[in-house]
Amino acid sequence: MSIVGTIGWQLVRFVLFVGLYVLLLNNSNFVLFDLGWNFFYLGFLLFLPIETSIVVQLLLGFGLGFTVDVFQDTGGLYAAAAVFTAYLRPWVLRLLTPRDGYDAADAVNIHQMGWQWMMVYLVLLVVLHHATFFLLELGSFLSLGFTLAKIVVSTLYTTLVMLIVQLVFFPTRRRNR
C-alpha cells in the first residue's frame, strides 16, 4: 500500500474510532453498573501498525486525546492518558516480541499474533491507560477503592470490546503483497 493510501486508511480509522466513541458510546446507556466505561477510541492507538515510530505515535496519541477532550470538555484528561499509552506502546511491543522478531507484514491482529499475545497486549495497555485516566480524574486518593473498581471493570469492558472489534473487523490472514 502506498504512503498516501496508508495515511488515508489511518485517517478513516481515526474518524471511525473517535466518531463512534464521541457520538454513540460515550453515553450513560453504555456504562456498566456505574463502574465500567468503554474507551472505544483507544482502539485507534492500540491497532496502529507495529512499525509506527514513537514520535508519530505520540503525536497521534495527543491528537486523539485532544480531539476527544474537545468534544467532552475535559481539559486534557483524555490527551494525557492517550499520550501516556502511546509512549508505553513500543515498550509493551518490545516486551512481547516473538522469539524470531516481528515480520515486516505483522500487524496488531489477533489472527496473526494469537490469543495469548493479544490478551497480554490489550490488558497491559488498557489497564495502564485506565489507571492514568481515572487517577488523574480523581485528583486525590479519597475514593481510591471506588476508583480501583472503575479501573478493573472498565479494563475488562474495554478489552472485551477491543477483542470483538478484532474478531469482526480484522482480516483472518495476511494480505498478499
- The 3-state secondary structure of 101-124 reads CCCCCCCCCHHHHCHHHHHHHHHH
Question: Distance between alpha carbon 118 and the CA centroid of its chain, in Å?
Answer: 12
CA quadruple 126, 128, 133, 144: dihedral positive or negative? positive
pLDDT of residue 82: 94
Residues 6+ positions from 105 with CB-CB distance below 8 Å: 174, 175, 177
- Cβ-in-10-Å burial (0-12, 13-18, 19+) of 2 comes to exposed
pTM of the shown model: 0.86
pLDDT of residue 97: 85
- Taking the chain (177 residues) in consecutive chunks of 10 residues, what is each chunk's mean pLDDT? 71 80 72 81 89 90 92 90 95 86 75 87 96 90 87 93 86 54
pLDDT of residue 177: 38
Whether the CB-CB separation of 126 and 156 falls below 8 Å is answered with: no
Q: Would you list the domain boundaries of the chain?
A: 3-169
